[in-house]
Structures are given as C-alpha cells and as structure tokens.
Structure 1
Amino acid sequence: MARPSKYVRKVRELRKKLWPEIDFESQLWDRKRNDGFVTMPRTMPLIIGIIDDLTKGAPAGMTYAELWCRAFDEMYVSLSKSKELAFHSGFIGQRAERTWAEKIRKLDELGFISVKPGQAGPLSHALILNPYLVIKALHDAGNVGITQDKYNALVERAIDIGAGDLDEEREDDDVLP
C-alpha cells in the first residue's frame, strides 16, 4: 500500500485530536471501501447554484445533481425510470413526473445535457455535457441568469483546484503532468 501524502498525514493527525471519540474506520464513509460513489467536480455546489439561478422560479439544480449521481464516466443516463428519477430529484405528488420532465427539458435547452428519444419516449436518454463549458458559453453569450459574482466564484474555485476548463485557450501541450 502506498504511503499517505504529507497532507493526508496532517489531516489524519488533526482529525484524531479534534474528534478523539470517533472511530474513523467504522464511522466515516470511505469511497475506497464503500460502493456507491461518483466522481464530480469540486465546484458542483457552485454549478448547481448557477443552474438554479438560470432556472429561477423552477430550479433544476437537484435534477442535474441526480442525473450526475447516476452517470458513470461515460456521462450517459437512461431516463426510462422517470418516476424514480423524479422522486430522487425531490418531486412528489401527481405532477412529479411532469415537473421533472420540465426540468430535464430546461437543462437540455440550456445545454447542460443533451436528450434523445427512445423506447421510453422523447425523454429516454441523456448525455451530460461539461458544465464548465456550458456555463462559460452562457456567460460569454451574456445570459442574464449567470451573475458575475457566481461566475467569478466559479473561475476562482476552478483555478484553486486546477480545473482548466474555463481557460480561454486549452491545449493538451500546456497540461502539466
């Protein structure tokens, strides 16, 4: 097993001192030991907030988060279980599926996803597109739903975490190893 990095050792030491009563092995969720995890950008809370701003009055951020949590690395999601997807997105009652479908259409219209028809109807398949590129394109087009403060926060956080998706010119040659 690889030796933990200096950062990991420091955090583990700090954890022990701050929470001596916690058994970290049994009480913390660990993606390496537990199934059911997904990879997502560290900026996802900002992305969801921007989506909610873009869909004011009918926020679609949780619908987007539910899709993301169902996607594997291929960024594809089957929409055939619309009732389940609607419930997991937070919609209940008689209009749940209809409300969910409205959110899906709005995410498609904004460019966050691309929807294709199939045997489950017009909303059968979804491809999740790079949210950084979608937000950048909407911002550059002057979409009033993207506030400058949130866009700047996304840019700052992306730089902070080393995500180059919002860079003006991205060339594979410029990527550091």
Structure 2
Amino acid sequence: MAKTRSILARQLEARKKIWPEITTEMLWDRRERDGFVTMPRAMPLIMNIMDGLSDKGFPVSQTYLELWCRLYDELFLTLNRQDEMAFFAGFTGQRALRTWKDRVTRLANLGFIDVKSGPTGPLSYAVFFNPYHVIRKFYLKGKVPEDQYRALEIRANEIGASDLDDIDDQGNLIVEDEVPPPPKAPASGQPVRRRIRPVAKAK
C-alpha cells in the first residue's frame, strides 16, 4: 500500500506541474463521484479479440461493454430494458432491437455469457463468464491470433491478472481442492471428550 501511495503522490505531483490550472473538481474522480463500474484493465484488448471471434461484419464488443456497464458484482443481469440497451449499444432505426438481440445471441454462442428465457422472451436473463477463460479456450483451438493472445498475456501479467492460468492445456478449468479446516483445539481448562468404543464381550 505504501508503494501505491508513493506512485499516486508522484502522479499527482506530475499532473499538477503539467496542468497547474486544473482542480480536482474539474476531473472525474471515482472517489468523489458515483456511477462507476468495475472494469478489467485489459477490456479494450478483450473487446478486440471478441470481435475477431465473431463473424466478420457482426462485432459484439460494443454490446458486451454496454451490458457490462450495467453489472454489479454478482455478474447477473435482467435484460428487461432491451430497447434502451440496444440504443445505448449504438443500434438505431427499425432493426435496432433485432440487431441487438443478434449480438447478444452471438455473445452467448461464443460462451462469453449465458442467457435464459423469461418474461421478455428467450433473452430475459444473462450471466457473465470470465472472458479470460473463454479467450484461453479459443486460443487452444487455434482461433485467437498469436499476437493478440501474447499481448493479452503480457497485459495480464502487467496488471497482476492470473486468470489465463486457470485453464489448463486441455481447456479445463483448474479447481483447487478444498482443504477442510483443522479441528478446533479445546479451550484451555476444558476436559477433552473422547468417544470410547465398547469392548466386545468374550463368548
């Protein structure tokens, strides 16, 4: 934490020297403002890879980003404002909703999300999977260009994201075995109870 504060202090000092007339009130500080969302630092590259995985002429990343900006930490979304979602994703006109639904379906087919039916039709609910995992699986199938994947590896290493390592070379998610917690030692002064097996009577 001390190192992080030191870097922040140096950055603030450098900014003040370059733009001495700028005040904090003029900037968009998430510590002072509301309306922010958790965003992975590698998202721009992830979005580029997504579009490459989709069919040519059918980019999905803008739709994904719009949905992501509505997410909370549970990574589950109710798709109950579809016309608005389509508009915010950049789709307008008579085919806006149809195009949006096509992009959401493509995201589901690629495995970045899963969708379930409900009151608004086949696309009523969505859950979001770890995009690093999805991209890693596509890379193992030879569907992600080497330069893009290497760039993602380097960027992930820079930001301390180890998610690509969660998928083994066969495309399986590595799940660590849960180790049961050790039994609690009896409090000092309390007698230790032991279960004594009854001795079998001799016949």
Q: 1:69-104 CA distances to partner (integer Å, 9 max, x unpaired)?
A: 000001111111110000010100000000000000
In the TM superposition, what is the alpha-carbon distance from 1:171 to its structure 2 partner? 7.0
1:110 alignment counterpart:
110
**Structure of larger gyration radius:** 2
2:42 alignment counterpart:
43
2:20 alignment counterpart:
20
2:122 alignment counterpart:
122
What is the 5 A alignment of 1:1-177?
A: 5-23=5-23, 25-55=24-54, 56-143=56-143, 146-167=144-165
In the TM superposition, what is the alpha-carbon distance from 1:111 to its structure 2 partner? 0.3
Q: 1:110-131 CA distances to partner (integer Å, 9 max, x unpaired)?
A: 0000000001100000101100
Once structures 1 and 2 are overlaid, which stretch shifts more, 108-117 or 48-57?
Answer: 48-57
Specify which structure has the higher proportion of helix: 1
Please list every run of 5 or more consecutive structure 2 residues that lacks an aligned counterpart in the other structure: 169-173, 178-203
Task: Provide the TM-score with structure 1 as the length reference.
Answer: 0.90
**Structure 2 counterpart of 1:99, one-letter code:** T
Please list every run of 5 or more consecutive structure 1 residues that lacks an aligned counterpart in the other structure: none
Higher relative contact order (CA 8 A, sep 6+): 1
Q: 1:42-70 CA distances to partner (integer Å, 9 max, x unpaired)?
A: 00000111111112211010000011100
In the TM superposition, what is the alpha-carbon distance from 1:29 to its structure 2 partner? 0.7
In the TM superposition, what is the alpha-carbon distance from 1:172 to its structure 2 partner? 6.5
**Structure 1 counterpart of 2:36, one-letter code:** F
In 2, Cα distance between equivalents of 1:111 and 1:88: 22
Q: What is the SS of the residue equivalent to 1:10?
A: helix
